[in-house]
Amino acid sequence: MVIIMLGAPGTGKGTVASLLQKKLEIKQISTGDIFRKNIKEGTELGIIAKEYISEGKLVPDDITIKIIEDRLNESDVQNGAILDGFPRTIKQAEELDRILASKGKKVNKVINLTTPDEEIIERIVNRRICSNQECKKIYNLILNPPKQEGICDKCGSELIKRKDDTEEIVRERLKTYFEQTSPLIQYYEKQGNMLTEIVSKTINRLGIDVAEDVVQILKGEK
């Protein structure tokens, strides 16, 4: 099974994808995590990606597509994958269809998350992430704060704030998303495999609620 997480930055794609990974027992693939790992390690890919990400722009299609194609060839995702952060353009979506077709697979479900812009900005600016790459638990200082300030409840590692989690960069990322990525909604609506879910504190609906609904839908229980 191949699932795609769509939605603007800060809608909770990573949180929902992580929950689905546990419930469905298929791997989450986050392009953002791949880029950040390479940036931290100072690789050639990391240097290129940093130039774009630091300005709130998307990494070029050819680079991102190659990364995903290589990742989908690895043994741990042969039974399925949850793509978090890919595709982000029509070209990427078309290339993904080609890659999957060559393996006799297809996109089974697209989960499109929506959240009000101002809530997205508040959520990202207050986001903190576990520095332990084996954990990567996500917190929010307002909605889901850690029990001890700056420390992960799960593994005890230091919590960090991403350098690009600032209001200025978030607004630029939202602008980029709506200009370049939102056309994907029409692309997948035409394919008839998209499910749109609202994630917002205004209606008391969080990522865990969305994940439960998605699992039930995929299992034919709803």
Q: What is the CATH number of the domain that holds 198?
A: 3.40.50.300
Per-residue pLDDT, averaged over 200-218, amounts to 81
Q: Tell me which long-range contacts 77-80 makes (C-beta under 8 A, separation of at least 24).
A: 77/26, 77/27, 77/29, 79/1, 79/26, 80/1, 80/2, 80/3, 80/24, 80/26, 80/27
Q: For residues 36, 40, 44 and 48, what is the CA-based torsion angle, rounded to 10 degrees?
A: 50
- Cis status of the peptide bond prior to 87, with omega within 30 of 0: yes
What confidence score (pLDDT) does residue 161 get? 93
- Rounded distance between C-alpha atoms, residue 34 and residue 180, angstroms: 21
- Residue 166 domain flag: no
Residue 198: exposure state from Cβ atoms within 10 A (0-12, 13-18, ≥19) = middle
- Catalytic amino acids? 13, 88, 127, 162, 173
- Average pLDDT of span 72-100: 92
pLDDT at residue 210, rounded to an integer? 84
**205 - beta bridge partners?**
200
pLDDT at 183 over 90: no
Residues 12 and 115 sit within 8 Å (Cβ to Cβ): yes
54 pLDDT band, cuts 50/70/90, is confident
What is the residue range of 210's domain?
Answer: 2-115+181-218
- Encode pLDDT of 83-96 as tens digits: 998 998 899 999 99
In a domain, 53, yes or no: yes
Note whether residue 8 is domain-resident.
Answer: yes
Q: Is residue 157 part of a domain?
A: no
At 222 the pLDDT is 47
Assigned domain for 165 exists: no
**pLDDT for the residue numbered 198:** 87
pLDDT tens-digit series, residues 57-70: 778 888 889 888 98
pTM of the model as a whole: 0.76
Residue 134 counted as domain residue: no
Amino acid residing at 19: L
Interatomic CA distance for residues 93 and 107, integer angstroms: 10
Count up the domains in the chain and report the number: 1
Instruction: Give pLDDT tens digits for 124-175.
Output: 999 999 999 888 888 999 888 999 999 999 999 999 998 889 999 889 889 8
